[in-house]
Amino acid sequence: MVFGYKCFNDDLTNNYGFQFEVGKSYSVNGNIKFGINGNGYHMCSRLEDTLRYVDMNDDFVIAEVIGFGDMVLSEDEYNGYYDMYAVRKLYIKRFISREEMIKMMLEVDENRAFRFIQFFPLSEEEKEMFKLAYASKEKVLDGISYYQDGDTEVYARKKNACFVKKKGD
């Protein structure tokens, strides 16, 4: 058994149009395999990792889920995504409100917060909350500038500032 999260379209369907309901369990037949051509219900141990599979232009919801039965673990170390699963059986425990998601993500380490802000569209108020919570974490602050505010020059400015500083030493 594994506890985690799964994204759904706002009408509680998955990317294949299958309808889900809170409080129900679902199962698949066949060999369990992770991936786009796999078999099984996909879920992640970390909320922010579910966002990797959502089109941010669409409305979506995130649920707390429990996976059980046969399962396959997938990890993408290159991109820093761990504990992603394809499971035979999936129980939809409850859906998480936006406020709960923000509160949860304000309490994680900077790497997890960075992955969250890469994909989750924050309101102005939420961006300020992240800036305050991660005030000493340059990675998160730069991520907000780049991914949330569209400042495509933030990293170039840092690189140039570092180069000028080294050249002038």
- DSSP assignment of 65-104: EEEEEEEEEEEETTTTEEEEEEEEEEEEEEEEPHHHHHHH
pLDDT for res 164: 45
38: left (phi over 0), alpha (psi -120 to 50) or beta: beta
Q: Calculate the average pLDDT of the chain.
A: 87
Mean pLDDT along residues 97-113: 96
Q: Residue 93: is it exposed, middle or buried by C-beta count within 10 angstroms (0-12/13-18/19+)?
A: middle
Gap between the Cα atoms of 8 and 40, Å rounded: 15
Gap between the Cα atoms of 98 and 142, Å rounded: 23
pLDDT for res 24: 97
Quickly state the pLDDT bin for 53 (edges 50, 70, 90): confident
Instruction: State yes or no: pLDDT of 169 exceeds 60.
Output: no
Mean pLDDT along residues 74-92: 77
Mean pLDDT along residues 114-124: 93
Q: What is the greatest pairwise CA distance in the chain?
A: 65
Q: Residue 60: is it exposed, middle or buried by C-beta count within 10 angstroms (0-12/13-18/19+)?
A: middle
pLDDT for res 102: 97
Q: What percent of the chain has a predicted confidence (pLDDT) above 70?
A: 87
Buried b (16+ CB within 10 A) or exposed e, 103-140: ebbeebebebbbbbbbebebeeebbebbeebbeebeeb
Gap between the Cα atoms of 62 and 64, Å rounded: 7
Tally the residues of the chain: 169
Mean pLDDT along residues 36-64: 85
Instruction: State yes or no: pLDDT of 38 exceeds 70.
Output: yes
